Amino acid sequence: MKSIQAYRFALDLTPGQERVVLAHAGAARVAHNWALARAKAIMDQRAAERTYGVPDDQLTPALSWSLAGLRKAWNAAKAQVAPWWGEVSKEAFNTGLDALARALQNWAGSRTGKRKGRPVGFPRFKSRRRATPSVRFTTGAIRVEPDRMHVVLPRLGRLKLHESARKLARRLEAGTARIMSATVRREGGRWHVAFCVEVERAERSPARPGSVVGVDVGITHLAVLSTGELVDNPRHLSTAQQRMRQLSRALSRKIGPDRRTGQHPSSRWRRAANRLGRAHAQVAGLRRDGLHKLTTRLAREHGTVVVEDLNVTGMLANRKLARHIADAGFAEIRRQLAYKTGWNGARLLVADRWYPSSKTCSGCGAVKTKLTLSEREYHCEECGLVLDRDLNAALNLAALAAQFDTAGSGPVTARGADQKTRTRGRVAVKREPGTASADQTGTAAGQPAAA
């Protein structure tokens, strides 16, 4: 089974190498901003000409928004726009143009309704101060050195890794992996390289293929499993909140940049900003590590994992809980389970967003009309069951697997209450068009975190 996977390693760059990488990232930003300005100018010109009654066949020629079209326009103008273009790799300009092509395509698809999800705005210009330095290489010499502590990238040369790349090197030596691209990016004051790799994976099966586990995520406990296991919520952001507030106050007392007056930030401001960025990066790394360990264990042990289709965006509108919900990473848990279950031969089932998992009694199937968030224990008025609210929801999610099997192995979405909760009875299962199967969910819908 072939799949796309990312291998990410920290880099130890010398000051000279860092300047070269920053030059490539700046070239990507220049190409992006130039192409965006060109696209906006042509759009405005064509709109103005239409107001004067100019026929469509006589309008200013449109600029193709594809990567090939943007690259053709850039190559024709790069001698005047960037006379220094030969000092950096062509992949640097391709990085900025590719990002703009994707952004324009997403904006156009969102306007016409072809792209699902929240509306996407028109692309914006990238700032030298706020944009994250990044450059992507897709051609040229991209390899891992035999010592597994160095990598070679086009025009950047031999870069030292902060950690061993033995996991990727073993696959490359065995011929079960092929590097497709490499992205160098700075996060939290440290440079990283991420390899996008096509991996040939052996067929695997979970430790318990017949096991079904329901996963109910929350704030008090990060996850409550139908097996009765309670996974504690580490609350990394809350733990580091006091430290971050001190660093933020220290940063505010320094002389920072001011665009209105053209003031440049002081050296102390830069050092304070780097300290704050490292603190945020440490919290993100701890959260990422904990979620990966949890989702990997679930995908390797159980044959079927059932989760809910939570409206995380809507939940973040609650200002009292938004910080804790974002710190827990509800959406990230489902995203990682989507591809890890496919890697390990398991299946992921997603309950419908309106399925009343918390309101339904796991014993008799009675459904409550209302259940406030403060009620942490479920009391069934029909059979007298008293159970933890989250454990009751996890048991209901696990019970959905039987309904999926009865309805067929194709759908991964069960239909619950139609926004109005019924007072009694089990929910029905409905086949919804366009829903991916369990195998497709693991290989196509979810991909590992890339650069």
315 and 407 share one domain: yes
Residue 170 sits in the same domain as residue 150: yes
Check 390, 405, 418, 439 and give the catalytic one: 390
- The per-residue pLDDT for 406 is 62
Residue 270 lies in a domain: no
247 located within any domain: no
Boundary-marking domain end, from 64, 82, 112: 112
User: How much is the pLDDT for 426?
Assistant: 42
User: Are 347 and 394 found together in one domain?
Assistant: yes
Q: Which of 187, 308, 327, 352 is catalytic?
A: 308
pLDDT digits (tens, 9 = 90+) for 65-87: 999 999 999 999 999 999 999 99
Beta carbons within 10 angstroms of residue 150's beta carbon: 15
Asked if the model's pLDDT at residue 37 lies above 70, the reply is: yes
Assigned domain for 56 exists:
yes
Same domain (yes/no): 49, 142: no
Average pLDDT over every residue of 7-33: 96
Whether residue 73 is found in the same domain as residue 164:
no
**pLDDT of the residue at 415:** 44
- Distance in angstroms (rounded) separating the CA atoms of residues 393 and 224: 9
* pLDDT (0 to 100) of residue 423: 46
Tokens standing for 7?
A: 């291998």
Model pLDDT, residue 136: 96
Instruction: Examine the domain organization and report whether 359 and 417 are in the same domain.
Output: yes
CA separation for the pair 309, 351 (Å, rounded): 6
- Domain presence at residue 219: yes
Whether 390 is catalytic is yes
Residues belonging to the chain: 451
Q: Give me the domain span that covers residue 323.
A: 209-233+275-445
Identify whether residues 432 and 353 lie together within a single domain. Answer: yes
Q: What are phi and psi of 225, to 5 degrees?
A: -95, 150
Q: Determine the average pLDDT of the residues in 389-417.
A: 70
Q: Are residues 162 and 290 in the same domain?
A: no
Mean pLDDT of the residues in the chain: 87
Statement: residue 432 has pLDDT above 90: no
CB 168 within 8 A of CB 162: no
Residue 213 has pLDDT above 60, yes or no: yes
Residue whose pair of structure tokens reads 């096991």 in the numeric block? 211
pLDDT band at 418 (very low <50, low <70, confident <90, very high): very low
Res. 409 pLDDT band, cuts 50 70 90? very low
Same domain for 146 and 220, yes or no, is no
Q: What is residue 373's predicted lDDT score, i.e. its pLDDT?
A: 83
Q: Is the pLDDT of residue 3 over 70?
A: yes
Q: Quick: pLDDT tens for 364-388.
A: 888 888 888 888 888 988 888 888 8
Mark whether 57 and 187 lie in a shared domain. no
Q: Which of 98, 216, 327, 352 is catalytic?
A: 216
CA–CA gap between residue 362 and residue 367 (Å, rounded)? 9
What's the token pair of residue 43? Answer: 């759009």
| Each residue's pLDDT tens digit, 254-278 | 998 888 898 999 999 999 999 999 9
pLDDT tier, 428 (very low <50, low <70, confident <90, very high otherwise): very low
User: What are the CA-CA distances from residue 431 to residues 51, 405, 408, 409 (Å)?
Assistant: 49, 12, 9, 10
Pairing of strands 347-351, 302-308: parallel
Residues in contact with 138: Cβ distance below 8 Å, sequence separation at least 6, in sequence order: 91, 94, 180, 181
Cα 393 to Cα 411: distance, rounded to the nearest angstrom = 21
Residues 6+ apart with CB under 8 A from 137: 89, 91, 153, 154, 181, 182, 183, 184
Give me the sign of the Cα torsion angle 323, 328, 334, 339.
positive
Is 269 contained in some domain? no
Res 241 pLDDT > 70:
yes
The separation between CA 154 and the C-alpha centre of its own chain, rounded to angstroms, equals 27
The structure tokens 């196509």 sit at 444
pLDDT at 381: 84
Whether residues 376 and 279 share a domain: the answer is: yes
The confidence score (pLDDT) of residue 374 equals 84
What gap in Å lies between CA 424 and CA 234, rounded to an integer? 37
User: Model's pTM, two decimal places?
Assistant: 0.82
Report yes or no: 390 and 224 within 8 Å, Cβ to Cβ: yes
pLDDT confidence of residue 56? 86
d(CA 88, CA 154): 10
Residue 264 domain flag: no
| 428 lies in the same domain as 296 | yes
- Does any domain span residue 170? yes
Q: Does 246 map to a domain?
A: no
Q: How many domains does the chain have?
A: 3
Instruction: Give residue 106's pLDDT.
Output: 95
Instruction: Write out pLDDT tens, residues 331-354.
Output: 999 999 999 999 999 999 999 888
| Rounded Cα–Cα distance for residues 92 and 24 (Å) | 5
Percentage of the chain surpassing pLDDT 70? Answer: 90
